[in-house]
Structure 1
């Protein structure tokens, strides 16, 4: 084929091809209006936020006791002294959260499964599990910690530790297991009874139907509230300091006792906040993602 013939064929194809999509003037005007509106909303939100922050800052700085608060809580010198000690003590909090978190998830799931057992022969088990949950849901965490840390050593039991770290961790496990078991039980009960009936009709036992059919769906549904419980556990690990465990909170207390300055407490608070925010944001993102999948029919 000659060059002229090739050029002619190319022109013919371009002429035969459909015109490319071109938005109408009305659509372009609408998109420009939406962009202007978005910019206007962003400017208003920014200005409103800055005005609110400025008003709160002016109220804080203009209060009569601001100079004393600044000296007691915002000392750069004591913050530099406290940060290494607080971070050193934070290792105890992270270890507690990791170990206790695993135990709480396992025991909470077992406790929730025991409460779902049917039949008169399992009535004592259900009653004991329900009594445990009701008791520890109503018992304040601080009282549980005090009883474990001070009461267990007073019993002088052979082979039972008196280490406040272990006893404090046991108190966290006892209390949070009750909360987590209720989360798991809500997830189990959210699964339609027909799922369990269908599994039993296929020849599975109650335990097998619970393990292979009900629990996978239930656990998937309760992941966001479980992560919220983990966030709460991370913060409550600081309560073991009442037994003398040198964690991040107690490290701040030691420096405060030497200097009579409360800046170390603020440093410890900020450290916990920095640890908590990523997990909180991840929980929110995961919840929104699961809601979108459910709305689109991707997850029951």
Structure 2
């Protein structure tokens, strides 16, 4: 054994062995309880009087196979909308948060405008915003206004989610202690340099977990652009369901959205746990 590694005492060895045995026991209990619960749920559902009808209407394997290519093609549209919207939301949300944190009375109009934006779109339901943007903007008949339902749906998503992300960024910016700003200004940095070099890096690290959670929610809400006629995964499932008189395509679309969201959710959980450990340890992310 090297000089830098101290040999464990018999008591420590005993404690480690006890912890391992407890961990194995907990894992076994969790596995058994999961199997028992799953079996009980399966038996309850399959023995229900209406199960044969539900299985035929929602879990038809042939209908799932026939609808999968169209639903996958629609999901690819959702993914593209998600990527574009996520980038725009981060940029616009950060800009609004920066406006809301401006100091001095001369910036009051910008602060008021940013606050009004957040209050309006954070309180407006997404589905209503989709209808207002999707049918209101083309109704103006202004030259240059987009009429593509995909673009209009993306605009509505950006408007709504930018308000939420702006508040997340603002909370991160205001969590940085004022002494950090004062120290930066005493070194001769301007306000813009202080925000870019000192405040924003700390703020972004602190709010990364809630930002990832908003990203997971955005993944699901991208499916709502179907209400404007965009042929995404949900709309493709609706078309397939109408042609086959079967609801299985909706189940296929739902499972694909879950497959898309689960990895992001696990990443968000991992980042949250990592941030909590670093905070408890007194370090930085």
Whole-angstrom CA distance in 2 between matches of 1:214 and 1:250: 43
Deviation at 1:104, TM superposition (A): 0.4
Query: Quick one: which of 206, 211, 231 aligns to 1:246?
Result: 231
Residues 226-245 of structure 1: pairs in structure 2 closer than 5 A: 226-245=211-230
Equivalent residue, structure 2, for 1:69? 54
Q: State the TM-score, normalized to the length of structure 1.
A: 0.88
Query: Quick one: which of 192, 216, 219 aligns to 2:204?
Result: 219
Task: Pick closer, same or farther for the CA change 1:192–1:29 going to 2, 3 Å.
Answer: closer
Task: Pick closer, same or farther for the CA change 1:30–1:99 going to 2, 3 Å.
Answer: closer
Residues 93-242 of structure 1: pairs in structure 2 closer than 5 A: 93-242=78-227
Deviations 1:83-125 (A, max 9, x none): 1111111111011011111010000000000000111111111
Q: Which runs of 5+ in 2 are unaligned?
A: 1-5
Deviation at 1:210, TM superposition (A): 1.3
Aligned-residue CA RMSD in angstroms? 1.8
Query: Quick one: which of 257, 261, 278 aligns to 1:276?
Result: 261
Task: Pick closer, same or farther for the CA change 1:28–1:193 going to 2, 3 Å.
Answer: closer
Does residue 50 in structure 1 map to residue 35 in structure 2? yes
Deviation at 1:66, TM superposition (A): 1.1
Aligned pairs, number? 280
Equivalent residue, structure 2, for 1:299? 284
Q: State the TM-score, normalized to the length of structure 2.
A: 0.93
Q: Which runs of 5+ in 1 are unaligned?
A: 1-19
Moved over 6 A (4+): none
Task: Pick closer, same or farther for the CA change 1:254–1:198 going to 2, 3 Å.
Answer: same
Equivalent residue, structure 1, for 2:3? none
Deviation at 1:297, TM superposition (A): 3.0
Whole-angstrom CA distance in 2 between matches of 1:42 and 1:176: 39
Task: Pick closer, same or farther for the CA change 1:267–1:214 going to 2, 3 Å.
Answer: same
SS of match in other structure, 1:222 = helix
Deviation at 1:290, TM superposition (A): 2.4
Whole-angstrom CA distance in 2 between matches of 1:168 and 1:22: 61
Whole-angstrom CA distance in 2 between matches of 1:21 and 1:183: 47
Deviations 1:165-207 (A, max 9, x none): 1111100000010000000000001100111111122222222
SS of match in other structure, 1:99 = helix
Deviation at 1:35, TM superposition (A): 4.2
Task: Pick closer, same or farther for the CA change 1:40–1:212 going to 2, 3 Å.
Answer: closer
Task: Pick closer, same or farther for the CA change 1:21–1:226 going to 2, 3 Å.
Answer: closer
Deviation at 1:60, TM superposition (A): 1.2
Whole-angstrom CA distance in 1 between matches of 2:265 and 2:191: 36
Deviations 1:10-52 (A, max 9, x none): xxxxxxxxxx96864x666555544443333333222211111
